[in-house]
Structure formats: C-alpha cells, structure tokens
Structure 1
C-alpha cells in the first residue's frame, strides 16, 4: 500500500452545533491520509492520488457549514473515494481549536477511518 497524506491544514470555518459557532466560526485543523495498492512503479501523476486534489476536496467541504464534525469527515472521505476510486483506505481527522466548552481545551477531535 502507498499512502498519500496532508497534515495540519488550518482552515477557518463555521461548523458547530451552537448558534454562535455559525456566526463567529472557528479554526479547524484537518489531517488526511489515503492509501491505495501500488501495482507498478509510480512515474506519472495519473498513477497516484494528487494531493492538490485532496486539498481541494477538504477546502470545498469545509466551506459548507455542518452542525456535527462527524458529518464533515464523512463527507470528506466519501468525496475522496468518489474522485479517486483507487483509494482503499481513508483516515480523516478534524480538530476544532479551542471549542466553546466553558473550560480550557486545546481542541476537540473527530477521526474517521474507512476501508474500501
């Protein structure tokens, strides 16, 4: 298996269950790793997963506000597999920086791992 990953993408977005999150937004950190079978030496971009394509998917989905982070990571994983059918495993982690919990919390995190 060959793995392509993007780590620590920082994006401001408006995901969250509480009304103030839809108004103020928050900073999020996204990590993505996708794996696929390597059947030959990879010498051309079309033989692999373009990480620019992964970034574009993350950026697009982060622009669509959702109340639950679980929905966001599910949408990302599905979109990645739809664009790159060769993917056999996706791991997406989404962290909300300083979530509004009434105490000092560095981040909340949701991680989805899917096998195809």
Structure 2
C-alpha cells in the first residue's frame, strides 16, 4: 500500500495531567502516515483521486486544539478514528504524537506515543431459533451497520437449518455477513454480545435455543486463541450451516490455518454427508 506522510505538524494545544498544562498549553508535534493507493491520482493528476494532505492537516489541528485531554494516547485515538471515518480512501493511519519538554522534572527532548489503526474485514455468523427469527437477524445487521465504526458490506440469504449440538429445540435461521470495522477482535466480540443482550439472549444451555447468536468466523487473516475468543472459529470448517451462507458472500476467502477457501471447505463437508 502507498503512503502519504505528514511529518511533525506543529500544534499549540492544552493537554496534560497537570492543571497548568491545560491552562498554559504547549507545543505538540503530530506525524500521520496515511495508507492509501496513490495509483489513480498518479496516473490522472486528479486531486479527488487522492487524499488532500492539507485538509487532513487542518483536521488534525482542529481535533487537537478543540479538546483538552490528559493523555497523548487519547489524542492519538481520536485523531486516528476521525481521519479513518472522514477519508474513505485511507485504509490505515500510523500516528506519532510528540510532546516536547514534558514536565517530568528531568531533562528530555520529547515523549511520544505511536499507534497504528485501520479498517479490518470480519465475517460474522448469525443465527436464531426463537421468536421472530428473521427480525432478530435483521436487527443485528442493522445494529452493526448503524455504528460509525462498522460497515456491513455483504449479507447472505437466510437459510433454515436443523439444530446443532443434540439439544431438542426449534430449527434455526442462519446467515452470514461481511463487516468492515475499526474495532479490535475483543472489542468486536463485546459489541456482538451487546447486540445479543439487546435481543434478550440468555446463555443457559450450551448449544441451546437462543433469540440471537453472533459469532466471529474470521478477522482478516488473524489467528487468535484466548480463553474468550478463538479466530478463526474452531468449528468453522465443520459446519455447513455456517459455510453455506459464508460461501455465498466470500467463497474465495481462505482459512488462515487450513489454507482452504470457504468454497473448498463447503465441498468437503458436503462430501462427508
């Protein structure tokens, strides 16, 4: 990916832990590296095909000057999120916020915070087998798509499937969606749980009936195993009720561990029937 760099933008603002910093203010230096394709702009000399670094610089200044925060980390998060939400051509931002002569009682040049934030692609499985199943699934899709840090880019058709796990219950309505998001995997999991909770999801019986079930299937090409979250989903390659809708929206997506595409995994599941 190409990059546009704004280096050491000088901004006088009022941030810091000490009250005098918030009143007197001081200089901050901001470096922003914008990850974007410059190919079209380079071939056409068309400004609208690129990211206007002058506009971005003024946006950064406005964010930093119009607010007062204690931490450099807070400034960095706000600047990164605003740039990504304002400029669709930017896929990732690398930010460095420097604070010269930070008041720590010792001689130093600068203290700085560096972060990288960007858009990620996640695939989510949807399921419901209680109440108005279709309404629960559509409500979850709307809840994700209406959040500023999430964009639903594709949704599969819904299909009726038999319950999984041996618990006697009603048939499920299942689907899958593709999501463009600024959330980390852990933050996305929390967001999904919030949506499930709003749909009155109860976790009483393992593999039991539920108003709404939302699972992260894949997140970019990430491999993650924690006590609370496994990516890719451990059962992904075994479940036709997940692979069928996922193959509809991303048949080419490759499992980062198994190395097979969604379409290939679905064919293998079908062959084992």
TM-score bin, normalised by smaller chain? over 0.9
Describe how 1:34-113 pairs up with structure 2 within 5 A: 34-38=34-38, 40=40, 41-63=43-65, 64-113=67-116
The answer for unaligned runs of 5 or more in structure 1 is: none
Conservation of the 8 A alpha-carbon contact between 1:37 and 1:88: no
Offset of residue 39 of structure 1: 5.4
Offset of residue 105 of structure 1: 1.1
Describe how 1:7-26 pairs up with structure 2 within 5 A: 7-26=7-26
Q: Tell me which structure has the larger Cα radius of gyration.
A: 2
TM-score (norm 1): 0.92
Counterpart of 2:91 in 1: which secondary structure? Answer: strand
Quote the Cα distance in structure 2 between the aligned partners of 1:42 and 1:111.
Answer: 33
Conservation of the 8 A alpha-carbon contact between 2:3 and 2:37: no
Offset of residue 12 of structure 1: 1.1
TM-score (norm 2): 0.41
Counterpart of 1:17 in 2: which secondary structure? Answer: coil
The answer for unaligned runs of 5 or more in structure 2 is: 120-273
Quote the Cα distance in structure 2 between the aligned partners of 1:39 and 1:93.
Answer: 26
Quote the Cα distance in structure 1 between the aligned partners of 2:44 and 2:92.
Answer: 18
Quote the Cα distance in structure 2 between the aligned partners of 1:71 and 1:93.
Answer: 12
Offset of residue 25 of structure 1: 1.1
Q: Alpha carbon RMSD of aligned pairs, Å?
A: 1.3
Counterpart of 2:69 in 1: which secondary structure? Answer: coil
Offset of residue 24 of structure 1: 1.6
Counterpart of 1:82 in 2: which secondary structure? Answer: helix
Structure 1 or 2: more strand by fraction: 1
Query: More deviation in 54-63 or 39-48?
Result: 39-48
Quote the Cα distance in structure 2 between the aligned partners of 1:38 and 1:94.
Answer: 25
Quote the Cα distance in structure 2 between the aligned partners of 1:5 and 1:108.
Answer: 20
Quote the Cα distance in structure 2 between the aligned partners of 1:15 and 1:50.
Answer: 27
Quote the Cα distance in structure 1 between the aligned partners of 2:44 and 2:77.
Answer: 28
Quote the Cα distance in structure 1 between the aligned partners of 2:37 and 2:78.
Answer: 23
